[in-house]
Every structure is written in C-alpha cells, then in structure tokens.
Structure 1
Amino acid sequence: MAVAQFWGTGRRKNAIARVRLVPGTGRVLINGRPFEEYFPLRTLQTMVMAPLNSVDLQGRFDVLVRVEGGGVSGQAGAVRHGIARALLAVDSNFRIPLKQRGFLKRDSRMKERRKYGLKKARKAPQFSKR
C-alpha cells in the first residue's frame, strides 16, 4: 500500500526547493542532512518551520527536501515556500492561514544586474575632480 505523499515546489532568488511531506514523526531532512545542521542559524530554522507551526502540524509530517541554487537565505525562503505549497495539497483549508502570513507568495525580488562603468549594480567608482 502506498503512503500518501504531498509535493510542493518553492522558489526564492536563485534557489529552488522540491519539498515532499510524508506522514511521520516530524523529522526534517534537507539534502539528506538534518535541517538544524543544514541551517545552523536559529532565525533560518524558525523561518523554515513557520508554515507547519502556523497550521499546527509540527510533528505530524516528515519533511524531505532537495534544494539547489542560491545562498543560505534564499534556500531557506525556497524551503518555506515549498512547505507552504505542499501543505495546500494536504488540506485546501490551510490556504487562509498560510496566505494571511504570506507563505504562499513567491518573493520575486532578485539581485539587480551589474551595469557597465559601475562596480556593482549601483555603486560607482570614486569621483576624482583632478
């Protein structure tokens, strides 16, 4: 007999997370590692677990994540987005609390491209009058 699995894809900056929720004991594995090890900062850990906490499902699902691209912060945002989308597959009634907290919205802010003549996107070289 197949176990119910719920999938969600999350994106943030250049990071993409494929999230799978499986009924279980609440362990969270990111790229095969415990998520406390993958995201050592407490702020990122609370950010990742926020969707599960908002619908009171912590400890009821195992969260299995494959995440790639971007940096640590972008990956944490992508995982949070993916968990929220997977929770919608669990129960569509979760849409209201998840949407109110902004977990379903894809944060579309990206790094601005570098322009020629500048050091970064907006930082100009030091001006010299003489």
Structure 2
Amino acid sequence: MEKTIKIDPKVAHYGTGRRKEAIARVWILPGTGRIIVRSSSGKEWDGKEYFERDILLVKINRPFVVTETLGKFDVYATVKGGGKPAQAEAVMYGIAKALESYNPALRALLKPAGLMTRDARVKERKKYNQMGARAKYRWSKR
C-alpha cells in the first residue's frame, strides 16, 4: 500500500516508542498538526479515527503541549502489537524522542514531564502448575 505522506529524511525526525507489546515508529515533519497512523493491516488512518477516544489523542499530543509546539508538526506513525491505549502511549513516547532529535534542548522540558522514560511494565508470564501469573489452583487436603 502506498504512503499518503512523503517522508523526506532532510526534514523528518524519527523516534521509536514502545509500551507493553505495542511498538510505534514515529516521524514528525513540519506541518499543521495532522496525525496519520498506519496499522499493522497496512491501512492508513486519521489519528482521530484510529484512536477514537479523546483521552488517547490528548495523551498523544502531550509532548507537543509540553514543548509548546502543538500544530507545528505533522505526525506519521506505524503501529503494531498491543491494544489502542498501549499504542497511543507508544506513539506519545515516539513523538517525544523525535522532538528530542529535532531539538536536543527540548529534553529539558520533556524529561521533567516524564516523557523521556519508557514505561517498562509488561505482562507477567504464566507459570506452570498455576492458573495464571500469580493465581494458583486451590489446594485440597482430601
């Protein structure tokens, strides 16, 4: 499937974001604040259509709000894995890293806001002879 947006390496800045099982590859380009998301199916979506919930869009735009660059960049992101909330956080983290690539001085604003720290919490694996990661089968004496 052909991209609707042309990424020029001279003006685009890249950042990778991860959260749980979700991975987002994010490019920011000078523009008007448009967000385009390419899902693992290959279809490209408008950010509002793909993430549906307003709280997820607020989360995605947080790096722009913190650095006061809202509406100055277009975002092109490819996402795979995880659910929509995890993908939104991965995109947010990818945008923060791309903004740092654009201007390293912005790190001073992004770091205190907690946007440069990857949330490393992932699902704990299920153990053998147990119902789940922590839950155990009931023990009966007789």
- With the length of structure 1 as denominator, give the TM-score of the two structures: 0.92
C-alpha displacement at 1:77, in angstroms? 1.2
The reply on whether 1:13 has 2:20 as its aligned counterpart is yes
- Once the two structures are TM-superposed, the CA of residue 44 in structure 1 deviates from its matched residue by 1.3
1:102 aligns with 114
Aligned partner of residue 136 in structure 2, secondary structure: coil
Partner of 2:3: none
**Match runs of 1:1-130 below 5 Å:** 4-31=11-38, 32-128=44-140, 130=142
- For the residue of structure 2 that corresponds to 1:94, the secondary structure is helix
Identity %: 42
Q: Is the Cα–Cα contact under 8 Å of residues 3 and 22 in structure 1 kept in the other structure?
A: no
How far apart are residue 70 of structure 1 and its match? 1.3
Give the root-mean-square deviation of aligned CA atoms.
Answer: 1.6
Aligned-residue offset at 1:125: 2.6
Structure 1 window deviating more from structure 2 (117-126 vs 26-35): it is: 117-126
Q: Distance in 2 between matches of 1:2 and 1:104?
A: 23
Q: Structure 2 regions of 5+ residues with no counterpart?
A: 1-7, 39-43
Q: Distance in 2 between matches of 1:100 and 1:127?
A: 48
Between Structure 1 and Structure 2, how many residues are aligned?
130
Give, in angstroms, the shift of residue 9 of structure 1: 0.7
Closer, same or farther in 2 for the Cα pair 1:2/1:123, shift >3 Å?
A: closer
1:103 Cα offset (Å): 0.5
Query: What SS class does the counterpart of residue 54 from structure 1 fall into?
Result: helix
**TM, length-normalised to structure 2:** 0.85
On the 8 A contact 1:12/1:108 being kept in 2, the answer is: yes
